[in-house]
Structure 1
Amino acid sequence: MVAAVTPRASCAAVLVAAPASGQGKTTVAAALARLHARQGHRVRAFKCGPDFLDPHWLALATGAPVHSMDLWMTGEADCRARLNEAAATCDLVIVEGVMGLFDGTPNAADLAERFGLAVIAVIDARAMAGTFGALAFGLQNFRPGLPWAGVLANRVASERHAGMLKDALRDPAQWLGGLPKSEAFALPERHLGLVGAGEIGDAMARLDAAADALAETPLGQRALDALPQFRFDDLPAPSAIAAQPWLAGRTIAVARDAAFSFIYPANLDQLTALGARVDFFSPLAGDALPVCDAVWLPGGYPELHADALSRCAPLRDALAEHVAAGRPLWAECGGMMSLFDTLVTADGAEHRMWGLLPGRVTMQKRLSGLGPQQLDIGPLALRGHTFHYSSCDTPQPAALRTVKPGAVQAVGAGEAVYVKGALRASYFHAWFPSSPEATARLFLPKPLERTDAF
Structure 2
Amino acid sequence: MKTTCPAILVAAPASGQGKTTVTAALAHLHARAGRRVRAFKCGPDFLDPMWLELATGHPVHNMDLWMTGEADVRARLHAAAQDADLIIVEGVMGLFDGEPSAADLARHFGLHVLAVIDASAMAGTFGALAFGLQHYRPGLPWAGVLANRVASERHAQMLREALPADGAAPSGWLGAVMRNPAFTLPERHLGLTVATELPDALARLDAAADALLDTPLGQMDTAALARWSVAFEAPADPAPTVPLLAGKVVAVARDAAFCFIYAANLESLRALGARVVFFSPLANEPLPACDAVWLPGGYPELHAEALSASQASRDSLAAHVDAGRPVWAECGGMMALFDEIVDPQGQSHALWGLLPGVVRMQPRLAALGPQKLALTAGELRGHTFHYSRCETALEPVLHTASARGGAAGAGEAVYQRGALRASYFHAWMASSPAATAALFLPEGATA
- Unpaired segments ≥5 residues, structure 2: none
Partner SS for 2:397: strand
Partner SS for 1:10: strand
Select 2:196's aligned residue among 198, 207, 211: 198
- Unpaired segments ≥5 residues, structure 1: 1-6
**Partner Cα distance (2:148, 2:222) in 1:** 22
Which residue of the partner structure matches residue 3 of structure 1?
none
Which residue of the partner structure matches residue 249 of structure 1?
247
Within the alignment, does 1:221 sit opposite 2:219 as a pair?
yes
Select 2:137's aligned residue among 143, 166, 171: 143
**Partner Cα distance (2:327, 2:98) in 1:** 32
Task: Give the alignment's TM-score, normalised by structure 1.
Answer: 0.95
The 3 A distance-change label for structure 1 pair 106 and 24 is: same
**Partner Cα distance (2:424, 2:247) in 1:** 28
Within the alignment, does 1:289 sit opposite 2:287 as a pair?
yes
Q: Do the aligned residues in 2 keep the contact of 1:337 with 1:343 (CA within 8 Å)?
A: yes
Within the alignment, does 1:446 sit opposite 2:439 as a pair?
no
Q: Do the aligned residues in 2 keep the contact of 1:307 with 1:351 (CA within 8 Å)?
A: yes
Which residue of the partner structure matches residue 233 of structure 1?
233
Task: Give the alignment's TM-score, normalised by structure 2.
Answer: 0.97
**Partner Cα distance (2:4, 2:129) in 1:** 31
What's the CA shift for 1:358?
0.3
Per-residue CA deviation, residues 13-48 of structure 1 (Å, 9 max, x unaligned), is 000000000101111111111011011111100000
Spell out the pairing of 1:256-271 with structure 2 (5 A cutoff). Answer: 256-271=254-269
Does 436-445 or 166-175 show the bigger shift? 166-175
Partner SS for 1:219: coil
**Partner Cα distance (1:33, 1:191) in 2:** 26
Q: Do the aligned residues in 2 keep the contact of 1:299 with 1:335 (CA within 8 Å)?
A: yes
**Partner Cα distance (1:177, 1:63) in 2:** 26
Which residue of the partner structure matches residue 17 of structure 2?
23
Which residue of the partner structure matches residue 69 of structure 2?
75
Within the alignment, does 1:299 sit opposite 2:297 as a pair?
yes
Residue identity opposite 2:296 in structure 1: P
Per-residue CA deviation, residues 216-265 of structure 1 (Å, 9 max, x unaligned), is 1000101233230111112257x5x9411111111111011110000000
Select 1:56's aligned residue among 36, 39, 50: 50
**Partner Cα distance (1:437, 1:364) in 2:** 35
Q: Aligned residues: percent identity?
A: 68
**Partner Cα distance (1:329, 1:286) in 2:** 18
Which residue of the partner structure matches residue 355 of structure 1?
353
Within the alignment, does 1:429 sit opposite 2:426 as a pair?
yes
What's the CA shift for 1:379?
5.5
Residue identity opposite 2:437 in structure 1: A
**Partner Cα distance (1:201, 1:242) in 2:** 42
**Partner Cα distance (1:287, 1:8) in 2:** 48
Q: Do the aligned residues in 2 keep the contact of 1:8 with 1:88 (CA within 8 Å)?
A: no
Which residue of the partner structure matches residue 157 of structure 2?
163
Q: Do the aligned residues in 2 keep the contact of 1:12 with 1:225 (CA within 8 Å)?
A: no
Per-residue CA deviation, residues 123-174 of structure 1 (Å, 9 max, x unaligned), is 0011211011111011001111211000001101111111010000003131
**Partner Cα distance (1:270, 1:415) in 2:** 23
Q: Do the aligned residues in 2 keep the contact of 1:8 with 1:87 (CA within 8 Å)?
A: no
Across the aligned residues of Structure 1 and Structure 2, the Cα RMSD in angstroms comes to 1.4
**Partner Cα distance (2:179, 2:359) in 1:** 38
Partner SS for 1:321: helix
Number of residue equivalences: 441
The 3 A distance-change label for structure 1 pair 379 and 313 is: closer
Within the alignment, does 1:152 sit opposite 2:152 as a pair?
no
Within the alignment, does 1:44 sit opposite 2:38 as a pair?
yes
Q: Do the aligned residues in 1 keep the contact of 2:71 with 2:235 (CA within 8 Å)?
A: no
Which residue of the partner structure matches residue 417 of structure 1?
414
Select 1:393's aligned residue among 391, 394, 408: 391
**Partner Cα distance (2:379, 2:286) in 1:** 34
Q: Do the aligned residues in 1 keep the contact of 2:2 with 2:233 (CA within 8 Å)?
A: no
